[in-house]
Amino acid sequence: MKVGVLALQGAFREHCLALAGLGAEPVEVRKPEQLQGCRALIIPGGESTTIGKLMDQYGLFEPIRKMGEAGTPIFGTCAGMIMLAREIEGSEQPRLGLMNIGVSRNAFGRQVESFESELDVPVLGAKPLRGVFIRAPQVISVGPGVEVLAVYHDKVVLVRQGHLLAAAFHPELTEDNRLHAYFLAGSRL
Amino acid sequence: MTEKGTWTVKKGLAEMLKGGVIMDVTTPEQAKIAEEAGACAVMALERVPADIRAAGGIARMADLSIITRIMESVTIPVMAKVRIGHFVEAQVLEYLGVDYIDESEVLTPADEQYHINKNEFKVPFVCGARNLGEALRRIGEGAAMIRTKGEPGTGNVVEAVRHMRMVSGELRRLTVLPKEELMAAAKDMGAPYELVVQVAETGRLPLVNFAAGGIATPADAALMMQLGCDGIFVGSGVFKSENPAARARAIVAATTHFNDPQVLAEVSRGLGEAMPGMDISTIAPHERMQERGW
């Protein structure tokens, strides 16, 4: 199964490796035509302002928005979560706005406050997931149809809205690929 | 349990900067131009390297009010430079909350023998390297990101190319050495044995490696990316050129689309004059910034 990974900037290589490890066929996407044939899409972590500008410049907003609206599964991590959100606190930056969530950027502080911690993610089973949070956002409001899958100290950090999945942390930076597997399992339906 | 300042977190921010451009800025206005152009981070400085070179004298950590104002003006990560070996400048920047520290040869070294023990800090460090031994020594000291040194402030990419080719060549050579030769290789390179064994197995550095020092055009950026760099630092190349905003945007696009000649041709048009360049042979060896660091 071909899975697109938006490769404009950020940690796209790690997502490609995680996907390949699970038997999917990752496709780096930098231009709209590279989305053809992709059955699902990952929007990686990076700088959301940089990714947004390059998406705008190379005409990727409309095709990805259409894919999302048509039911193609999309998984956003960190900056990818920001791109998927409808509301971004205090910012007018461009976004896909596909998910009924509001997010706050750099919600945990600057880099010296970045951290890793165990997270309980019931949909992945009893074993906790190691969450790596780097200048991470958090979900500050959740609208209809959005399911909260994990919280860290009362802060929402993993959400799902049907075929759309968003994480404030970086599953691609650890060896544990259960969240990628969960996303792919949903994509095969 | 929550842990801050771990190796994963330090190296992780560099992973998030990959495929991006980090630009030297000296004012909040320049920082905004850089962010608006799509920079993934900025380096807050008092002077860009070309001006440091011209001014002479001792170059130190920037005035903290400049760094603070730049931190307040943008939402992207802000880096700042300290002198080689000046661990107190680093303590101050960590307290201030900068996102990355560059222990940089662009400033005048504070210690002629030792670099900072970067393992002691929660804030991550980036360091320059001309060859694999130098890169592995810095990693051993705790650097979480490496960049080529190049020759800063020259607008001449030749030294960055030399350093990148040197590191790649040495990595390739290590991968074919029998195991019993690795200790002698570590000795010859002056590099920690464990790291030599590790890179001999994987054939790549265990962290992110950017290009820096002399990048002035979109084609320069794409050249360094095609040579295997993970991203680009642009120092004097943007704000010493005729049209900084347009050049910054073009270098960002060229770094993403580094393998796409069509995009490279589009973005390389009509950018105005690049920064004036310098031939390396006109700089006396003792004045070359890349010679600083041990």
How far B14 CA sits from the closest chain A CA (Å)?
Answer: 9
Q: Test B20 with A9 for CB contact under 8 angstroms.
A: yes
User: Can you give the pLDDT at residue A187?
Assistant: 78
Nearest-angstrom CA–CA distance, A85 and A90: 13
Q: Residue A109, CB half-sphere, CA atoms under 13 Å: how many?
A: 10
* A177 Cβ contact partners less than 8 Å away, ≥ 6 residues apart: A18, A21, A22, A171
Answer for the pair B25, B39: CB distance below 8 angstroms, yes or no. Answer: no
- Provide the whole-model pTM: 0.97
Q: Where are the domains of chain A?
A: 2-187
Catalytic residues of A: 78, 170, 172
Average pLDDT score over residue span A174-178: 96
Structure tokens at B258: 């580094």
Numbers of helices and strands, H then E, in chain A: 5, 12
Percent of chain B predicted with pLDDT > 70: 100
Q: Which residues of B touch A117 (CB under 8 A)?
A: 1-3
Contacts of B19 in chain A (CB under 8 A): 7-10, 12, 46
pLDDT higher than 90, residue B180: yes
pLDDT tens per residue across span A22-79: 999 999 999 999 999 999 999 999 999 999 999 999 999 999 999 999 999 999 999 9
Instruction: Write down the CATH number for the domain with range A2-187.
Output: 3.40.50.880
